Amino acid sequence: MWVAILGWRSTSGMGYPGRHGGVMGEHRRATATSAAGGSTTGPCCRYHTLVESWLANLAPSDRVSGEQLKERLTGLRSWHTDLGLHNSGTTGDSLKRLIRGDSRYHGERSKGQALPITLPVLRWVVDAIRSDHNLFGGTGSALSLTAAYTLAFAAFLRCANFTYRGGDFDPAFDLCRHHVHLEKDTPYIHLPASKTNVFRQGVDVNLPTGIPDDLSPVNAIRELVAASQPNLWCHCSPSAVSTHASGLALREARIGAKFTGHSFRRGAATWAASVGCSESEIQAMGRWKSDCLKAYIDNLASAMRNLVSSHYQRPLTLHTSGIPPLHAIYNPHL
């Protein structure tokens, strides 16, 4: 039943699917093929029907969205590839219509994308941590968090790039004291491994100088190095940095929103764009190798308000009738 319902919804929203649309159209074509002497019950056809039924049985659950159905179907195809099986039974327009119908029936859920931590938010959070070390687990933990936050923002990093769980420390992957170089003129850190550096060649990340002392990652890391063990950030795991501790810091700073370890990288890109940096400059600072950086840049509400307001401040050149002349609307370049 759900195969028919979702196929119906996928082709016309709430209306009738039409003579040749949806699952009923598929059924008519299969019937015509059978009447002409063709086979509609071969192994691939039966398996395709089984996959349809599997997805349709998952669809009524409110917890499974169309995007999740697509992910499960992709996983099934991956298993087929690993086992050397044919993928003809896991592809086809009817499966696409079924997934699209589920998206229309249940609606797409919000992905809950992490909000950016921009420069003002970073300052509020760091001030909240420094105002009461005991609230964040003592001096060692507070220094770790301050250094982690200022470094993540300044170097366009995710917190998971340099933090680790205490029992999972591995010098081949995790940031150590000897990876930190705080020379006066050229401070930098060496990341031994990252998601885009799978062969562990490492990458040097330059740290900014000449910025306000309260937000300087160089100053914060120096304080951490002077007070910590050889393993940096041993006081806080990635989850502590990105969820519990950051949430506590945000509440203390009277900021209520959804932030994660990606918020610093997203916030740094967003803030750089808001102060006039070009995409090529942001790409260089964030070490992006493609234009995927556009997904990290959010439009600040204040910038959008100013943009809309600017339209009202431009000189009006309309005709006295209030309708612009034709040449002002359509003026092709020959």
Mean pLDDT of 90-114: 77
Q: Is the pTM of this model over 0.85?
A: no
Distance of CA 93 to the CA centre of its chain: 29
DSSP letters for 84-129: T---GGG-SHHHHHHHHHHHHHH-PPP--PPPP--HHHHHHHHHHH
Same domain (yes/no): 135, 99: no
Mean pLDDT of 239-244: 51
Same domain (yes/no): 50, 159: no
Residue 289 domain flag? yes
Same domain (yes/no): 15, 46: yes
- Which of the residue ranges 111-120, 129-138, 204-213, 308-317 would you say has the lowest mean pLDDT? 308-317
CATH number, domain with residue 212: 1.10.443.10
Residue 252 domain flag? yes
Confidence of residue 20 (pLDDT cuts 50, 70, 90): very low
pLDDT in tens, 245-300: 556 666 666 666 677 777 888 888 888 888 888 888 888 888 887 777 777 777 66
Helix, strand, or coil (residue 183): coil
Distance of CA 2 to the CA centre of its chain: 32
Check residues 31 and 139 and name the one with the higher pLDDT: 139
Tell me which amino acid residue 3 is: V
- Structure-token match 């220094």, residue found: 143
Same domain (yes/no): 102, 158: no
Helix, strand, or coil (residue 227): helix
Mean pLDDT of 304-316: 59
Q: Please state, in angstroms and rounded to a whole number, the distance separating the CA atoms of residues 326 and 34.
A: 60
pLDDT for position 327: 60
pLDDT for position 281: 87
Residue 196 domain flag? yes
pLDDT for position 10: 46
Q: Which domain holds residue 157?
A: 119-296
Same domain (yes/no): 132, 233: yes
Closest CA to 247 of 154, 111, 163, 149: 149
pLDDT at 191 over 70: yes
Average per-residue pLDDT in the chain? 71
Same domain (yes/no): 147, 271: yes
Mean pLDDT of 237-241: 51
Mean pLDDT of 170-198: 78
- Which of the residue ranges 103-107, 142-146, 149-153 would you say has the lowest mean pLDDT? 103-107
Of the ranges 16-30, 53-67, 76-90, which is most confident?
A: 76-90
Residue 283 domain flag? yes
Same domain (yes/no): 77, 140: no
The total domain count for the chain is 2
pLDDT in tens, 35-70: 444 444 445 567 778 888 887 777 666 567 777 888
- Looking at 77, 106, 135, the residue that finishes a domain is 106
Q: Please state, in angstroms and rounded to a whole number, the distance separating the CA atoms of residues 146 and 175.
A: 16
Of all residues in the chain, what percent are helix, strand and coil, respectively (each to 5)? 55, 5, 40
Same domain (yes/no): 226, 156: yes
pLDDT in tens, 119-135: 888 888 888 888 888 87
pLDDT in tens, 249-261: 666 666 666 777 7
